[in-house]
Chains A and B, each alone.
Chain A
Amino acid sequence: MYKEKLKKIGEDEYELPKEGKMLVPGRIFISGKMIAEEDALKQVANVAHLPGILKYSIGLADMHVGYGFPIGGVAAFDLDKGVISPGGVGYDINCSVRLLKTNLKKEDAIKKQKEIVNGLYEKIPSGVGRGSRFNITRQELNKLLEGGAKYIVEKGMGTKEDYLHTEEEGQMKKADASKVSERAVKRGIGQLGTLGAGNHFLEVQYVDEIFDEKIAKELGIKKNQITIMIHCGSRGLGHQVASDYIQLMEKKYGFKNLPDRELINAPIKSELGKDYYSAMCAAANFAFANKQLITHWIREEMKKLFPSVKIDVVYDVCHNIAKFEEHIVNGKKKIVCVHRKGATRCFGKGRKEIPESYRKIGQPVIIPGSMGTASYLLIGTKKAEEMTFGSTVHGAGRVSSRSYALKNLSGEEVKKELNKKGIEVQAGSWSSLAEEAPEVYNDIDEVVRVVDELGISKRVARLKPLAVVKG
């Protein structure tokens, strides 16, 4: 039992000691109140087997079992000895969250709550069956895969501030569209500007509480203000990129020495490792472009309901990604390859990766709650750079399976409960509501309390939903 091996080394901090072929120990940041899943701990240990892993294999407070890496897992690798693993990024490459702020107040939105939810549901398609409203040629798609959110803005759908307020400025510069297969392109081309299903959503929220007035002011966030959150990823294109490179790496390197077949990887400096990274960047750009398009449509739709509405991007964070970043390892600054799978970057002030307008306060961190519960806006810290390679949680984290939800909850009931709380909801199906019911997730308030107390990101504001759109 991995759970019994955990050694408490601080408040909400545990070590999973090195054993067997583990190259480093595991480090779990979790509240004593939460139960770390046995299988997720095993996955933290498995990740510690990978060549070139630095310091420790990390599990964050929202962690749960994934495939290969746990969800809520972080690992950094040495550039010379280390590997890059599609399973460490996930199938939904750059599954990510964008937060928009508006000049509307809670009372404005409440007056038109139904129109808002119906309008946004009609305007933003979820995917198959309700395909993309955006037609693009194969040639233009290549430009989009290399240009990301910037490409969409240059087409007249958005402002420069939109992509400047996005991780990587909405464009991973190493993207190479030629490394993305035709199959991946065919899966993605009809899905641009769609939300997708599962845990992806679009939410209209109000600012319920401010924890840090000074930073909230810098971010342009006030109590009772309306914000809008978009959670989606790289759709079928990203899924296929992951699948393609898992197959290619398996063919080239085999999986005999791996504790789990999903941990297949390639040396960072190998041709295949570099190709995967270039394709991953292209898929990440697809996700950035996707949210930029959705932002544009939200503006159009909200303008119909509120002619003088103004909508700006607060920030946009990646959840499933590998990046090359400078960190201090054994007292020395070095560039490492950080895998974040279901984890959010949370750099402290001063880092060059943070947009200039926020550099003196730190990187905004957006943590969505489960449907119907609060979401949080936080700010990154220097402490996170020391403890977690600048990473924090990405959400509440699931505790119950979808099959449990489908057996025990009905979509109709879930909707009724949300309505009772004053939340309007529109979803593609009843089952998607049941599967994503608030009770199948951890308590987001507790998850956020843990990261705030650990100091790996600090609370700025709590956002509560008024309208939810799901695929």
Chain B
Amino acid sequence: MKFKFLSHTADVKFQAFGKNAEEAFENSALALKEAICGKMKIKSNVKKTIKAEGRDFESLLYNFLEKIIYLADAENFLIAEVKEIKIKKFELKAVITGDKASNCKFTNKVKAVTYNEMFAVKKGNKWIIQCVLDV
């Protein structure tokens, strides 16, 4: 399983999984995409490189996901896939593809990433991420 949504009274809570931090971060981005526009299929017309940094894995995740929300609101770009992702210490670089948001009929209901109940940890040989999005 790449990610799953959990019950939360008012907001959207998800868990994402991966065999390493990169994969778990990638799957978090896909969970965010689904929270933004549901299961809508997004074309991979445009390529973008995003960089994020943090003081720990949680703040790195916060900043990474926030950049994806920012792209939807400010740059008319909706993510489809993560093509490459590298995490070194608390710095992340990713190449993502997607489409012009105005080509897709949706309204972004995701307002922000929150630290509420957030964790990004290695358990055994798996990475688990949990995050609540404000909607």
Q: Could you tell me if B9 and A198 are in contact, using CB atoms closer than 8 angstroms? A: no
A187 to B75, CA, bound (A): 8
* 18 CB-based A-B contacts, threshold 8 Å: A67-B115, A127-B107, A127-B108, A128-B73, A128-B76, A129-B101, A129-B102, A131-B102, A187-B74, A190-B74, A197-B135, A240-B112, A242-B112, A251-B55, A260-B116, A262-B115, A428-B105, A429-B105
Q: Which of A126, A246, A247 contacts B107 (CB 8 A)?
A: A126
Chain A: CB-nearest residue to B12? A402
Does the CB pair B9–A239 fall under 8 Å?
no
- Pick from B5, B12, B72: contact of A128, CB below 8 A: B72
For residue B89, CB closer than 8 A to chain A, the reply is no
Query: Across the interface, which residues of A come within 8 angstroms of B107, CB to CB?
Result: 126-130, 196-197, 428-429, 432, 471
Stretch from A15-23, A350-358, A393-401 contacting the other chain:
A393-401
Contacts of B108 in A (CB 8 A): 127-128, 197
Minimal beta-carbon separation of A146 from chain B (angstroms): 21
A37 interface contact, C-beta 8 A: yes
> B11 contacts A67, CB within 8 Å?
yes
Interface residues in B77-105 by Cβ distance below 8 A to A read 101-102, 104-105
CB-based A-B contact count at 8 angstroms: 126
Asked if residues B132 and A67 are in contact (CB atoms below 8 Å), the reply is yes
* CB nearest neighbor in B for A186: B74
In the complex, chain A residues whose CB is within 8 Å of the CB of B76:
128, 190
Contact with B along A385-425 (1 / 0, CB 8 A): 00000000000001111111000000000000000000000
Q: Using known A-B contacts A196-B107, A400-B9, A403-B5, determine if residue A91 contacts B134 with beta carbons closer than 8 Å.
A: yes
Return A93 CB to nearest CB of chain B, in Å.
Answer: 10
Chain A residues whose CB sits within 8 angstroms of the CB of B134 once the complex forms: 67, 90-92, 239
- CB contacts under 8 Å to A, within B100-122, are 101-102, 104-109, 111-116, 118
Pick the contact of B118 from A66, A261, A429 — CB < 8 Å?
Answer: A261
> What total of chain B residues lie within 8 Å of the partner, measured CB to CB?
40
Residue of B nearest to A187 (CB): B73
User: Which residues on A sit within 8 Å (CB–CB) of B59?
Assistant: 247, 250
A191 touches B73 (CB 8 A): yes
**For residue B5, which residues in chain A have a CB less than 8 angstroms away from its CB?**
403
Nearest 9 interchain pairs by C-beta: A67-B116, A197-B109, A186-B74, A261-B115, A236-B73, A197-B107, A187-B73, A91-B112, A67-B114
Q: Report B-chain residues with C-beta under 8 Å of the C-beta of A240.
A: 70, 112
Say yes or no for B45: interface residue by CB 8 A criterion: no
- Complex-state Cα separation, A378 to B10, whole angstroms: 25
Residues of chain A touching chain B, judged by Cβ–Cβ distance below 8 Å, are 37, 64-68, 71, 90-92, 126-131, 183, 186-188, 190-191, 196-198, 236, 239-240, 242-243, 246-247, 250-251, 260-262, 398-404, 428-429, 431-432, 471
B 1-18 binary contact with A (CB < 8 Å = 1; else 0): 000011111111000000
Other 12 A-B pairs with CB < 8 A, given A187-B73, A198-B111: A67-B11, A67-B134, A128-B72, A128-B101, A188-B73, A196-B107, A197-B107, A197-B108, A239-B111, A250-B55, A261-B58, A403-B8
Residues from chain A with a CB closer than 8 A to the CB of B11 are 67, 402
Asked if B106 and A243 sit within 8 Å, CB to CB, the answer is no
Partner of A471, one of B8, B55, B109: B109
In the complex the two chains form, is B9's CB within 8 Å of A65's CB?
yes
Decide: B101 and A429 in contact? CB cutoff 8 A.
Answer: no
Contact of B106 among A131, A183, A236, A429 (CB under 8 A): A429
Residues of B within 8 A of A68 (CB): 116
Q: How far is the CA of A46 from the CA of B114 in the complex (A)?
A: 17
Give the residues in chain A near B112, CB-CB below 8 Å: 91, 239-240, 242-243
CA gap between A196 and B55 in the complex, in Å: 32
Given contacts A128-B108, A243-B112, A429-B38, contact A401 B70 (CB under 8 A): no
* Chain A residues whose C-beta falls within 8 Å of the C-beta of B104 in the assembled complex: 129
Residues of A within 8 A of B12 (CB): 402-403
Q: How far is the CA of A306 from the CA of B112 in the complex (A)?
A: 40
Min C-beta distance of B94 to chain A, whole Å: 18
A403 to B12, CA, bound (A): 8
Cβ of B73: which chain A residues have Cβ within 8 Å of it? 128, 186-188, 190-191, 236
Which B-chain residue is minimally distant from A431 (CB atoms)? Answer: B38
| A129 and B109 within 8 A (CB) | no
Chain B residues with CB under 8 Å of A131's CB are 102
Closest CB-CB distance, A328 to chain B, in whole Å?
A: 33
Q: Which partner residue on chain A sits nearest B101 by CB separation?
A: A128
Of the candidates B38, B105, B111, the one whose C-beta lies within 8 Å of that of A129 is B105
- Closest Cβ of chain A to B57, distance in Å, is 13
> Please, which residue of chain A has its CB at the minimum distance from the CB of B105?
A129
Question: Smallest CB–CB gap between B50 and chain A, Å?
Answer: 13
